[in-house]
Amino acid sequence: MKSVGVIGTGSWGTALALLLAHKGITCTLWARRPELASEVNRKRENVRYLPGFKFPGALHATADIHEAATGKDVILFVVPSHGLREVARETAEALRRKGVLPKAVVSATKGIENETLLTMTDVLEEILPEGLSGRIAALSGPSFAREVCAAIPTAVTLAASDQRLCTSLQELFSNDTVRIYTSLDLIGVQLGGALKNVMAIASGISDGMGFGTNTRAALITRGLAEMARLGVRLGANPLTFAGLAGLGDLVLTCTGDLSRNRQVGLKLGRGEALDTILGGMNMVAEGIRTSRAAHFLARKYGVEMPIAAQVFKVLYQGHDPKDAVRELLARPPRREFGDLLGA
């Protein structure tokens, strides 16, 4: 695999493109806006979303989806979840026009489509040419973009339905400081990567309200239980949630100051309005949309997710965080390890 099209110029898409390009792999980084692609190429750096990391010669940007997607060994999608379907349609059109498919497609987007409640790989399976069925993977785990680019040791999970594909992509993304583990649990790895953002908002709210590390630890632990309950109900392996794509990413996002979702929660806990918070952000906090998807998935499949439910109420129904805390603590007492689908 010698050429990769990276669809999305946010911080994570740029970080992955840099990782690959520094290995000598030819990377084309796609930007929706031509002016951003031009700026990135001129400055040899993504000043807007990931400043401080110069582009090697193997990496260049384009606003032409045909140039980014066609003739590539791998296509890597790293766009916000709400925009994936539209971009996938444009990519599919380009691939059909060219008539040559990549060896693999990877989603590094962490979210759930609100309208359909589909995972990102399910959306790609639905939209991309049929010849790519079974060749779509997901990359997830505890990985702040800036730390990956700074060569800080990182470990993440690559999931696909085929072990040979996993192994091939494992080699592609691995380097001296990034360690890739493989998994065949495509649904579990994606749910872990999406739902942890909801719990990070809850953790941020708690910290913003002035609660301590006791409370944060409880939210992380019980949040993990909620993630696993929904995952198992949807067919995931419960062990996945004890791994990098589950607990690993959850701890990172709930405690790390680089987490956009935690920052949203912190500001909500301090009394700021959501509209004001969003107005001051130039990148997407996926947990806001995912909280809605989690709410409707839990309701659809009859799974209790009390923390996720309170985050949904705070974000979408104007619920006061103080009332959310009171309602969580006032719930009837339960056994910690009861029925897996219990609360």
Q: How far apart are CA 265 and CA 200, in angstroms?
A: 7
Residue 241 contacts residue 224 (beta carbons within 8 Å)? yes
The sign one gets for the Cα dihedral 261, 12, 187, 289 is positive
Copy the structure tokens of residue 166.
């996993």
pLDDT value at residue 343: 53
Each residue's pLDDT, cut to its tens digit, for the chain (343 residues) gives 899 999 999 999 999 999 999 999 999 999 999 999 999 999 999 999 999 999 999 999 999 999 999 999 999 999 999 999 999 999 999 999 988 999 999 999 999 999 999 999 999 999 999 999 999 999 999 999 999 999 999 999 999 999 999 999 999 999 999 999 999 999 999 999 999 999 999 999 999 999 999 999 999 999 999 999 999 999 999 999 999 999 999 999 999 999 999 999 999 999 999 999 998 887 888 999 999 999 999 999 999 999 999 999 999 999 999 999 999 999 999 888 875 555 5
Neighbours of 146 (CB within 10 A): 14
Residue 134, Ramachandran bin (φ over 0: left; ψ between -120 and 50: alpha; else beta): left
- Catalytic (active site) residue 196: yes
Mention every residue, 6+ apart, whose C-beta is less than 8 A from residue 248. Answer: 141, 142, 155
Q: Choose the catalytic residue: 196, 267, 300, 322.
A: 196
| In the chain, alpha helices (H) | 11-21, 34-43, 65-69, 84-98, 120-127, 145-149, 163-173, 186-208, 213-233, 249-255, 260-269, 274-279, 286-301, 306-316, 321-329
Residue of 120, 303, 134, 288 whose CA lies nearest to 201: 288
Strands 136-140 vs 154-159: parallel, antiparallel or unpaired: antiparallel
Q: How far apart are CA 77 and CA 106, in angstroms?
A: 6
Residue 149 contacts residue 201 (beta carbons within 8 Å)? no
Contacts of 318-321 spanning 24+ positions with Cβ under 8 A: 321/205, 321/208, 321/209, 321/268, 321/269
Residue of 81, 36, 83, 43 whose CA lies nearest to 63: 36
Q: What are phi and psi of 303, to 5 degrees?
A: -110, 130
> Which H or E run includes 181?
strand 178-183
Domains of the chain: 3-184 (3.40.50.720), 193-329 (1.10.1040.10)
Mention every residue, 6+ apart, whose C-beta is less than 8 A from residue 319. Answer: 310, 313
pTM of the model: 0.95
pLDDT value at residue 283: 80
HEC-encoded secondary structure of 104-141:
EEEECCCCECCCCCCEHHHHHHHHCCHHHCCCEEEEEC
Q: How far apart are CA 203 and CA 218, in angstroms?
A: 9
pLDDT value at residue 284: 80
Q: How far apart are CA 13 and CA 113, in angstroms?
A: 19
Copy the structure tokens of residue 41.
């190429």
